[in-house]
Amino acid sequence: MLDISNLSASIEDKKILKNFNLKIRNGEVHAIMGPNGSGKSTLANILSGRKGYKIEGKVLYEGKDLLNIPIEERAQKGIFLAFQYPTEIPGVNTNNFLKTSLNAVRKFRDLKELDSLDFLKLVKEKSKNLKIEEKILSRQLNVGFSGGEKKKNEILQMTILEPKLAILDETDSGLDIDALRIVSDGVNALRNKNRSFLIITHYQRLLDYIKPDFVHVLVNGKIVKTGSSDLAQELEKDGYEGVATAR
């Protein structure tokens, strides 16, 4: 599904990713862990198409050169980024945003656009599973949402847009234990043999709920260690430094 080879990225001459390599196959869940400033979010940004980076290397998504595809087309082709800091858009109704987005994606996938009635039915069902209060969905997008509400809203969007590759950028930060469980259940419900996940996190906590197939440790723009989900436990015990130097 995703094949990253020798990816380097820099902002204003500051190198953030250095010859980064990663392969994600269909249905796999990969976790990327690493200290602050190790390049985790940069990776998420580059995959989703955020501008401002000088990029070298190659990224293939479903066999095609991802880096030349416009941002919206990446989304339509199934790449979803759950934002670390979801953006507030005043005046735009959350439900309306979601519907517009879903229909843009459905149109690209040659599916019939949903009318308001069908959409509301869908969103009602999905938001119930995530324990999102309906009244939140009629508020302005992310405006005045609590940290937890914002993150749940990201997962709701993911659930509705049914991506092929979901990138979760520190979705667990700012969540309390209950919300963490709900969000994890939401992610787990979406796991299947075709859908892949790239989960970016600081803490092993999230990985207690979402069991990854692979854990990668990212330090200074490079993967220094790859292992199974046990590696996350190790990290919790020894810290990033311990794992990085024990290499």
Binding site for other proteins (CB under 8 A): 48-51, 70-72, 74-76, 80-81, 83, 86-87, 89-93, 96-97, 100-101, 104-105, 108, 140-141, 157, 161
Q: Based on CB atoms, which residue is closest to other proteins, 104 or 122?
A: 104
Quote the least distance from Cβ 117 to other proteins, whole Å.
17
Which string of DSSP letters, residue by residue, matches 136-149?
HHTSEETTT--HHH
Quote the least distance from Cβ 39 to other proteins, whole Å.
19
Quote the least distance from Cβ 229 to other proteins, whole Å.
28
Q: Based on CB atoms, which residue is closest to other proteins, 162 or 208?
A: 162
The beta strands (E) that lie in 202-239 are given as 214-219, 222-227
User: What would the two tokens of residue 99 be?
Assistant: 């519907």
Q: Based on CB atoms, which residue is closest to other proteins, 86 or 147?
A: 86
- C-beta atoms surrounding 48 within 10 Å: 18
Rounded Cα distance between 173 and 11, Å, is 25
Quote the least distance from Cβ 97 to other proteins, whole Å.
7
Residue 7's H or E segment, with its range, is: strand 2-11
Amino acid identity for residue 140 in this structure: Q
Which string of DSSP letters, residue by residue, matches 160-196?
HH--SEEEEESTTTT--HHHHHHHHHHHHHH--SS-E
Q: Based on CB atoms, which residue is closest to other proteins, 63 or 70?
A: 70
Quote the least distance from Cβ 50 to other proteins, whole Å.
6
Q: Based on CB atoms, which residue is closest to other proteins, 157 or 204?
A: 157
